[in-house]
Amino acid sequence: MKCLIIDAVHSSIAEEFSKYMQVDTHMLPTQEELAKLIPDYDVLIMRVDPAINKEILDAAKNLKVIGVCSVGLNHIDMDTAKAKGIQVFNAPGMNANAVAELTISKMLDLSRHTIPANYDVKVNKNWDKYKFVGRELRGKTLGILGFGRIGQRVGELGRAFKMNIVAYDPYLPAHVFEEQQATSMSIDDVLKTSDYVTIHMPLTPETKNLFNAKSIAEMKPDAVVLNMARGGIVNEKDMYEALKAGKIGGYASDVMENELAAGGLTEGATFDSPLFECDNFIVTPHLGAQSTDASRDIAELIISKVKE
Ligand code: NAD
């Protein structure tokens, strides 16, 4: 058998599968390149790029299994895969802790101004502790929009910081909130009461632009917003205007509306946004799931499913 790996996945996958089959790596082929490569392979290991369309699956004469080392499957034509008897495995929930820890780190960074302070010391050579007086998480209200695997883990970590947890998720039964010691609220009440609002819902037609100028107007002026879910849920233009006008305490994001088109896969591509002008905006390049622990856990699961 032959296995093709097309993304940066944990090395244990290649090590393990090399015991049974030929393992080749071709990093991030385009859809056209993959359609040409795929006929030889029995196993495909990937993350989210490129999207697996019907043309690729039609060309995949020998393919038996796709191991997707990430959570979602909406980049794969599942109907065609099913019709062709190609099994597709993913790793739901395996990166929840990685994303949740990054969320908490951003809450701490924004609250204690660690990023501008670090810059002030290293770049401006200043050592001024009075410039960056922050606030603690303890006793504050943490509002979680989308209370699934990641949202619940953020809630657990927030409780360890002695925060009050409130959450909005209309698709969950009441007992989930009780078990998680969180108060279930409408989205408006979460926005009104929270000192930190963190977004952990999928991007859907319903959630696109869900967080906008109207949401910001409901919040406390020193509250902080975090988007660790998907670009497009937060209206970046509205957020920029609110930050500039001092209507909101800060915005931390791991995702942006045009992240793929602007940078992402194209080597050397640069990425700009008006938000970069704002000191109280902090951003990371979709790092949520990027921990060695999460990749190892995901790899273990994918190895066992593919072997089965
Ligand atoms: P999950 O499916 O366990 O939880 C999502 C929750 O959102 C569900 O409980 C669902 O009921 C809720 N929801 C759906 N629509 C909603 C709406 N309109 N309003 C309120 N709640 C709604 O998923 P998860 O594993 O917790 O991941 C959440 C999201 O985080 C994913 O959809 C993905 O976009 C994002 N994510 C980001 C990274 C990253 O690297 N930053 C990594 C993994 C996942």
ipTM of the complex: 0.99
Asked if residue 289 has its Cβ within 6 Å of ligand 1, the reply is yes
Asked if residue 206 has its Cβ within 6 Å of ligand 1, the reply is yes
Ligand 1 atom closest to the Cα of residue 153 is: 26
- What 3-state DSSP class applies to 257? coil
pLDDT at position 145, please?
Answer: 98
Atom 9 of ligand 1 has which residue's CA nearest to it? 148
Q: How distant, in Å, are the alpha carbons of 75, 88, 112 from that of 47?
A: 9, 12, 34
15 as an active site residue: the answer is no
* Mean pLDDT computed over 1-29: 96
55 as an active site residue: the answer is no
Query: Quick one: which of 252, 202, 196, 262 has its CA closest to 232?
Result: 202
Asked if residue 90 has its Cβ within 6 Å of ligand 1, the reply is no
pLDDT tens-digit readout, 155-193: 999 999 999 999 999 999 999 999 999 999 999 999 999
| Residues of the chain above pLDDT 90, percent | 90
| Residues of the chain above pLDDT 70, percent | 97
pLDDT at position 287, please?
Answer: 92
pLDDT at position 52, please?
Answer: 97
Asked if residue 100 has its Cβ within 6 Å of ligand 1, the reply is no
Return the minimum-mean-pLDDT range out of 133-137, 183-187, 223-227, 282-286.
Answer: 282-286
Q: In this structure, are residues 26 and 4 in contact, taking their beta carbons and an 8 Å threshold?
A: yes
In this structure, the number of other CB atoms found within 10 A of the CB of residue 302 comes to 26
Using the mean position of ligand 1's atoms as its centre, give its distance from the Cα of residue 105 in Å.
19
DSSP 37: H
Query: Quick one: which of 50, 24, 112 has its CA closest to 264?
Result: 50
DSSP 304: H
Ligand 1 atom closest to the Cα of residue 207 is: 18
Over 70: is that where the pLDDT of 147 sits?
Answer: yes
Rounded to whole angstroms, the Cα distance separating 291 from 146 reads: 22
Over 60: is that where the pLDDT of 261 sits?
Answer: no
Q: What is the pTM of this model?
A: 0.90
26 as an active site residue: the answer is no
pLDDT tens-digit readout, 102-115: 999 999 999 999 99
Asked if residue 141 has its Cβ within 6 Å of ligand 1, the reply is no
pLDDT at position 266, please?
Answer: 61
Catalytic entry in 10, 149, 153, 230: 230
